[in-house]
């Protein structure tokens, strides 16, 4: 994420990383801890993350929420703020359903405890640990990494 990356490029990089490792930490802004969740993306709704949850889950009531994400290789980090709500549209459930979701809901899409949560992104901070080769060598041998050798950081509104 160099300083010249556009918000669209940043969003595309984030989406790629989430597809590689579809796990987030999700929590309401109510003082309770976040919890790990399996996230689903809908390419037709780029500023939205979806999570299948039990209706009895502490996040199912929705509201102001935060999502944290760490890329599979620990090379990309994100913190997103937004609104969480239920979106139990059967067409959306069908579109996002997969074997990983089915493993948690033995009665399938008709499970009475099934809730599809949608997280609408309002803002995000994204970090990429793109330390240069010279910076990595310095890390190995205890040198000081210059600013131009270190990771980058971006703040954006909605991510697409």
CA atoms of 78 and 67, how far apart (whole Å): 8
Render 56-72 in DSSP notation, one character per residue: TSTTTT-EEEEEEEE-T
pLDDT tens string, the chain, 160 residues long: the values are 444 466 667 678 889 999 999 999 999 999 999 999 999 999 999 889 999 999 999 999 999 999 999 998 888 889 999 999 999 999 999 999 999 999 999 899 999 999 999 999 999 888 887 654 444 433 444 445 444 444 565 566 655 4
Q: At a CB cut-off of 8 Å and minimum separation 6, what does 12 contact?
A: none
CA distance 80 to 42: 17
Closest CA to 38 of 27, 50, 55, 56: 50
């Amino acid at each position: 994420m160099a300083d010249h990356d556009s918000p669209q490029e940043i969003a595309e990089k984030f989406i790629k990383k989430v597809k590689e490792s579809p796990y987030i930490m999700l929590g309401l802004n109510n003082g309770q801890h976040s919890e790990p969740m399996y996230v689903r993306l809908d390419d037709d709704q780029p500023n939205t993350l979806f999570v299948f949850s039990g209706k009895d889950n502490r996040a199912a009531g929705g509201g102001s929420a935060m999502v944290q994400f760490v890329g599979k290789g620990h090379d990309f980090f994100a913190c997103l703020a937004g609104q969480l709500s239920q979106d139990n549209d059967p067409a959306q459930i069908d579109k996002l359903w997969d074997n990983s979701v089915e493993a948690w809901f033995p009665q399938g899409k008709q499970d009475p405890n099934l809730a599809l949560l949608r997280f609408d992104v309002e803002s995000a901070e994204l970090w990429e640990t793109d330390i240069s080769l010279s910076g990595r060598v310095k890390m190995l041998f205890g040198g000081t990494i210059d600013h131009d050798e270190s990771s980058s950081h971006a703040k954006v509104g909605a991510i697409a």
